[in-house]
Amino acid sequence: MSAAHSAVGGAVPLSRPVVPYAPAASSPTFWQRVRDLPWTGVGITVLVLYCIFPFLWLIRLSMDPSASGALLPATFTLKNYVAVFQNHDFLAAFFNSFVVSGSATVVAMAIGGSAAYALGRLPVPGKPYIMFSVLCVSMFPGISIIGPLFEMWRSLGLFDTKIGLIIPNVTFCLPMAIWFMSGFFRELPRDLEHAAYMDGATPFQAFRKVMLPLAAPGVFTSAILVFIATWNEFMFAMSFTATNASRTIPATVSTFQGENSMEVPVGLISAASVVVMLPLLAMVMIFQRRIVSGLTAGGVKG
């Protein structure tokens, strides 16, 4: 499609008149020259630089001992990275984030995936109402539940535990997981189930042996999206944690301050920021196609 499209939208055919008897173009005017510049290339370069600039700046800040304003510093150092990996708060946060995001993703996939299958393919009573309430949860402002949840967690002993963080994370990722995966399940051909039933499979077996393997790409894509969403989550992490027992990366990074509160260790924090971005960058690079298809799935389909 992009080839056909660019032939139509591109500068070349449009810069020539479509009228057949038009004389051959004489020397181009100034504006024609301006229009024929490689704008797409310029646009793409600007776009890429704009997207990666803040990240490059973080890398630069993390390696510059002199804190100068030059584009490239005179000397480089890796001492901030060494310091990050010697910092107990940071290492604990890294571990907590992996545990919280990892388990939240697994649980959300199990609960959300089965719900999505039921809502996508099985005759569940009141399906439209269920879908509507799922939609409502996705619109919830997180702030409206943290007070009561804070109280509940304190009385249940879940305050400042990883489980106390996993539960709300799972809940608020469920709408996304359910909507995405139910769409995916719905699109699988109906004949597959019939074939499975003909072979004597029970509904559960049809799900586990036939549909689930076929839907694996969809499940995997939504797992990536859920993992990234929970890795990013900030408000719950700030409200339901107090110590290194459960603090995740966003909360720890935001509270990383120097001994002297006047002097913020910019180099150290930026080194930490770069480190926590690495798992996400790796995921983005490896799964770029899947992520893009997952992000745009709901937006275009009728």
State in angstroms the smallest separation of the CB of 170 from other proteins. Answer: 7
Tell me if 135 contacts other proteins by CB under 8 A.
yes
**Structure tokens, 41:** 């290339």
Footprint on residues 155-184 left by other proteins (CB under 8 A): 167-168, 170-176, 178-180, 183
Min dist. Cβ of residue 78 to other proteins (A): 19
For residue 203, state whether it binds other proteins (rule: CB under 8 A).
Answer: yes
Round to whole Å and give the CA distance between 127 and 278.
Answer: 40
Q: Is 132 in the site for other proteins (CB under 8 A)?
A: yes
**Binding to other proteins, residues 281-300 (CB under 8 A):** 281, 283-285, 288-289, 291-292, 294-300
**Cα angle: 260, vertex 78, 244; to 5 degrees:** 50
Among positions 218-247, residues that touch other proteins (CB under 8 A) are: 225, 228-229, 231-235, 238-239
Rule CB under 8 A: is residue 31 a binding residue for other proteins? Answer: no
**In sequence order, what are the residues at sequence separation of 6 or more whose Cβ sits closer than 8 angstroms to the Cβ of residue 250?**
232, 233, 234, 237
Which token pair is 33? 């020259």
Alpha helices in the chain (DSSP H): 2-9, 11-15, 30-36, 39-63, 79-86, 88-121, 127-139, 143-156, 162-186, 191-198, 203-205, 212-232, 235-239, 249-255, 266-286, 288-300
Options 96, 104, 247, 250; binder of other proteins; rule CB under 8 A: 250
Q: Does 276 bind other proteins (CB under 8 A)?
A: yes
Shortest CB 76 distance to other proteins, Å: 17
- If you count them, how many residues does the chain have? 302
Asked if 13 interacts with other proteins (CB under 8 A), we say yes
